[in-house]
Chains A and B, each alone.
Chain A
Amino acid sequence: MPSRAETLARAALLRAGFEAAGAQPVETPILQPAETLLDLYGEDIRARAYVTSDALRGEQMLRPDFTVPVVQMHMADGAEPARYTYAGEVFRRQEHDPERASEYAQVGFEVFDRTDPAAADAEVFARIADALAGLQLRAATGDIGVLMAAVRGLDTSERRRAALMRHIWRPHRFRALLDRFAHRVPVPPARAAMLACADPLAGCAPQIGKRSRAEVAARIAALRADAAEPPISAIELTALEALLGVRETAPFALRHLRDIAADLPQIGPALDRLEARIAALAARGIDVDHLDFEASYGRSSMEYYDGFVFGFYAERRPDLPAIASGGRYDALTRRLGQGAEIPAVGGVLRPGLILELEGAAR
C-alpha cells in the first residue's frame, strides 16, 4: 500500500498537470454545513458522511466530496468560463465494507463553460484518461440525460412524469413506479378499498401532527385522478425498457438509441448531444469505436449527474472502486446557484488507487 506521503505527492503532481492545462487551483473547507448536503442527498448522506456538530454552528459534515463546495464557490463569485482543479482528502463512512478507505485523497478537474458542452465533456474525459494512461483501465460511459429526456416526454400525466423523474437515481423504486403506471401490477387491496369508499376521511381518527387533513384529501384526489389515468402505452414502455438495456460500444449504442427514438421521439435532442460528444471525444483522440456506453450507467451513484457520466475501472482488481469518475451536473449548479445556473462537468481521480495499481504492476 502506498504511504500517505506518496499519495499526497502524487495528488500534487496530478493537480499540477490540470493547472498546466489551464485550471485554477482551489481549496475548500473540510467542514461543510450539513444542511446543504442533507437537502441535496437526503438522509442517505448520513450513512456515507461523517457528521459532527457544535452548539453554535450546528451540524457539520467532513466533506464527502469537493464538487458541492467548488460549485458553491463558483456560483458565489466565479468568473466565466472557469476551469478548477483541487487535491485533498475526502471522508466517507464505510459501515458495510471495512476494506474500503474512510479517508482518501481525491484530485479533481471541473469545467464551467456554456459555449460548447460536448467539447467540455470530451475535454474532462480526455484529460482524466490521459492522467491514467498506462494503467490499462476500462472506461465506462453513459448519459443520464437520455433517460431523463425519455421520461420527461412520456405520454402520461405530469404527476407520473414527476414521480418517475424523482426516482431516476433509485432504479428499484423507478421500476416499481413504472410497473404501477403501466398497470402491470394489481392495485394494493388497501388502496382499492380506500378509493372505493365515497368519503375515506369520514369518521376517521382525529387529526394530529403537521400534515393536515387537507393534504390527506389532496392526495386522495390525486390518487383518484391517477386511477382514472390510462396506463403508459406498451409501445413507450417497451422502448423505455430497450433504452435502459442499451450496452454497446458508443457508435453502436447511438445507432441503437436512434432506432429506439422512433418510438420515443423526445430523446432526439439528447441523442444529438450524445452524437456531438462522441465526435468531440474522437477529435480529442479517444478511440470511440472501443468505448463502452451503458444507458443505465451512473443511476445508482450520487444523484447530481444529469448528462454525461463516466468511470474508469481496473478490470483485474474488481475489488477496487472506480479509479476515476465524473460527469455533467448542470442541475446541481441550478440548485446551489439560487436562480443562477451554468453548465458544468468534472471528474475526480484517486491517486492512492493509482499508486496501488502501479505498485502491483512493478
Chain B
Amino acid sequence: MSLKLGVPSKGRLMEKCFDWFAARGLHLSRTGSEREYAGAVEGVDGIALVLLSAGEIPRELAAGRLHLGVTGTDLVQEKLPLWEQQLEEIAPLGFGQADLILAVPQFWVDVDTLDDLDAAAAAFRARHGHRLRIATKYHRLVREFLRVGGVADYALVDSQGATEGTVKNETAEAIADITSTGETLRANHLKPLSDGLILRSQATLWRSRGAPCTDAETATLAGLIAQIGA
C-alpha cells in the first residue's frame, strides 16, 4: 500500500497545490481525461494522489482514509470538533488566504461591533417577531464565536453559496463568510464588523493522526516531510 495524499480536485487551488509541491521536487499531475479524478506522483515513491473536494478532505483525514491532505484552516476547524487531536498541521502553503468575517449592510451606521450587533438583534426580534438571521455555511465556528462574544437573539440560516446576496434577497439580515479582498462585500453593500474577524484561513498541508501506517509508509512519510522542508 502507499501513502495517500489528498488534494483539492478543482481549479486554481489544485494548480497552486501542484506548483507548491513541484517547487519541492514532488510532481503531482492529473492523469486520464480532463474529467477523470485520477492523479499521479513523480519524484517520491510510495505516494498515491487522491483528488477530491476540499470540503471532504477534513473528514477523510479524520477518518484515516488519507494520510496527508491539503485544505483550508476554515474547513478543518468548521468540520472537525477537537481538530487538534485528529490532525497535525505540517505546513501552511502560503496561498488560499481568506478571512471568515461577520458582515452587515453598509447603511447600518449604528452597527460597528458585536456589542452593536447584539443590541440591534434584540430590537429586530422585538419588532419583527423573529430572530436576526445570519447566513453562513460555517455554522459551528460562527455559533461559537457569537457565544463567546455574548450575542443573543440571532438565528443562523444555511447558505452554501452566493451568501453576500442573501441580505438583498431578505433571506438574512447579516452574513458570516470568507473574504479575501472584501470586493464582493462592497459590491453587495456590506461591511465587516470591526471586531468580527472569526478566523484567518489559508491552504494548509495536514497529517492525519489516526491513519494507520505500515513501516514502509511511516518511512515514506518521514522522507516526504524532510523533502518538503516542513
Contact = CB atoms under 8 A, between A and B. Distances in A.
Contact of A167 (B107, B124, B146, B152): B152
A300 to B, nearest CB: 11
B132 to A, nearest CB: 8
Contacts of A213: 107
A208 B189 contact: yes
Interface stretch (B10-18, B91-99, B165-173, B203-211): B165-173
**Which among A38, A43, A44 has the highest number of chain B CB atoms within 10 Å?**
A43
A210 B170 contact: yes
B143 A47 contact: yes
Interface in B68-96: 81-82
Contacts of A201: 107, 109
A200 B109 contact: yes
Interface stretch (B25-33, B50-58, B113-121, B220-228): B113-121
Interface in A282-318: none
A208 B110 CA distance: 15
A188 B111 CA distance: 12
A206 B107 contact: yes
B45 interface: no
Contacts of B144: 47
B110 A223 contact: yes
B105 A205 contact: yes
Interface stretch (A11-19, A104-112, A137-145, A168-176): A168-176
B81 A211 contact: no
Contact of B143 (A44, A172, A208): A44
Interface string A193-230: 01000001100111111110101101110010000000
Contacts of B105: 205, 207-209, 211
Nearest to A159: B119
B173 A211 contact: yes
A191 interface: yes
Contacts of A208: 105, 107, 167-168, 188-189
A185 to B, nearest CB: 11
Contact of A219 (B82, B119, B155, B189): B119
A208 B108 CA distance: 10
A260 to B, nearest CB: 26
B200 interface: no
Contacts, number: 104
Contacts of B168: 208-209
A167 B172 CA distance: 24
B110 A43 contact: no
A170 B189 contact: no
B143 A170 contact: no
How big is chain B's contact interface, by range? 35 or more
B155 A209 contact: no
B154 A42 contact: yes
A188 B116 CA distance: 11
Chain B residues touching A, majority SS: mixed
Contacts of B106: 204-205
B107 A42 contact: no
Nearest to B191: A205
Contacts of A172: 148, 150
Contacts of B189: 205-206, 208
Contacts of A38: 155
A335 interface: no
Contacts of A216: 107-110
Interface string B157-190: 0000000000110101100000000000000110
Contacts of B123: 215, 218-219
A262 interface: no
A209 B170 contact: yes
A298 to B, nearest CB: 17
B153 interface: yes
Nearest to A191: B112
Interface in B128-143: 128, 131-132, 139-140, 143
A29 interface: no
A95 interface: yes
B90 to A, nearest CB: 24
B81 A96 contact: yes
B143 to A, nearest CB: 6
B35 interface: no
Contact of B82 (A95, A173, A205, A218): A95
13 contacts: A42-B153, A44-B147, A46-B139, A95-B140, A98-B82, A173-B118, A194-B112, A200-B110, A209-B168, A209-B172, A215-B123, A215-B124, A216-B109
Given A188-B112, A194-B112, 5 more contacts: A95-B81, A167-B150, A194-B110, A204-B106, A204-B109
Interface of A: 38, 42-44, 46-47, 95-96, 98, 163, 166-167, 170, 172-173, 176, 188, 190-191, 194, 200-201, 204-211, 213, 215-216, 218-220, 223
Return the 4 tightest CB-CB contacts between A and B, nearest first: A173-B150, A205-B106, A95-B81, A190-B112
